[in-house]
Structure 1
Amino acid sequence: MNDQSYPEFTGLELSPRKVDYLKFILEKGGTVKTTEISSGLQVDPSTTSKTLNELASAGYLNHVPYKGVDLTEMGKAYTQFLVRRHRILSLLLTHYGLSSKEACDEVSRFEAFVSRDAVNKICNSMGHPMFGVCGEISHEKCLHEENHHSVPK
């Protein structure tokens, strides 16, 4: 993914609950019905509709009433960052004695409050791991930034 197709964001734009919505939609893939999201996240359907409308207004989702939602290009890029952030932070916690499940559960409680800049620095300090406890870790952006600012050896 090149710099132009990767939107600029801090990683702190959304509440933890909205982060959950985007990750759920990415995990399901394609168009996801509002009722499926309500059920999966155990949220009242009216709350789900309100949150989906807010995410659509902010440009993260395409929302078609009575059909469902899917991620926009911006939504896909942001959600890929959310997954990357989760995987890097979970891997970090396993280095400090937490099991994979403990790390994943713990990160789910605080990940929405960790900035993109901090994630890139953690990723860099860990040597840009390719695989975390939850799956493959992407590196397009943080490697680009590192290579752009580093002095050739």
Structure 2
Amino acid sequence: MTGLELSPRKIEYIKYLFEKGDNVRTTEISAHMGVDPSTITKAINELASSGYVNHVPYRGFSLTEKGEEYAHFLLRRHRILSLMLNHYGLTAEESCAEVARFEAYVSKKAINTICDSMGHPTFGVCGRIEHDSCNLKHSHHETHEE
């Protein structure tokens, strides 16, 4: 996984499915995203064919194991980048909003490098930051950022 596999819109679908849990219906996603249900169906089917989403007919959609793993990375990426911008003077709200504009274009390698340089923080301005143990070069460097 490079972190650059999905378009910003598909990333929003993954995040929404992760937030909502199992069996999310097309109409729920459509209402939340403000997009026509046929557009949602097409995008979700593409995510399903790529292995990120399960579709249970008449019940809805949920993330696969691959989708859940990707969602965890998306949250981590958002929180690391928000914390970085907050560190350089933006408020928590400004950081979160600014990161939402560009986060889809930042690779996993860049996030791991930034995270390492920050000492693997465990808390950011948007919430807890989870780390995949294989991404930690020096786990004894973990710090708590306020």
TM value normalised by structure 2 = 0.91
**Contact preservation (8 Å) 2:53, 2:61:** yes
Q: Aligned letter for 1:142?
A: N
**Residues 1:142 and 2:135 are matched in the alignment:** yes
1:99 equivalent among 91, 95, 98 = 91
| Matched position secondary structure for 1:63 | strand
User: Where does structure 1 lack aligned partners over 5 or more consecutive residues?
Assistant: 1-8, 148-153
- Pairwise CA RMSD: 1.2
Query: 1:52 & 1:139 partners in 2: Cα distance?
Result: 27
Q: CA deviation at 1:42?
A: 1.0
Q: Percent of aligned positions with the same letter in both sequences?
A: 63
Which of 29, 32, 42 is the equivalent residue of 2:34? 42
* Structure 2 residue aligned with 1:72: 64
Give the CA deviation at 1:59.
Answer: 0.1
- Output the CA distance in 2 between the equivalents of 1:100 and 1:39: 27
User: Which residue number in structure 1 is paired with residue 16 of structure 2?
Assistant: 24
- Secondary structure of the 1:12 match is coil
Is the partner of 1:69 in helix, strand or coil?
strand
- Could you tell me how far 1:68 is from its partner in structure 2? 0.8
Q: Show CA shifts across 1:28-57 (max 9, x none).
A: 112211110111111111100000000000
What is the 5 A alignment of 1:78-89?
Answer: 78-89=70-81
AA aligned opposite 1:117: K
- Displaced runs of 4 or more, over 3 A: none
Q: Tell me the residue number matched to 1:133.
A: 125
Residue 113 of structure 1: how far off its partner (Å): 0.2
Q: CA deviation at 1:64?
A: 2.2
Secondary structure of 2:61's partner?
strand
2:43 to 24, 34, 51: 51
Match of 2:141 in 1: none
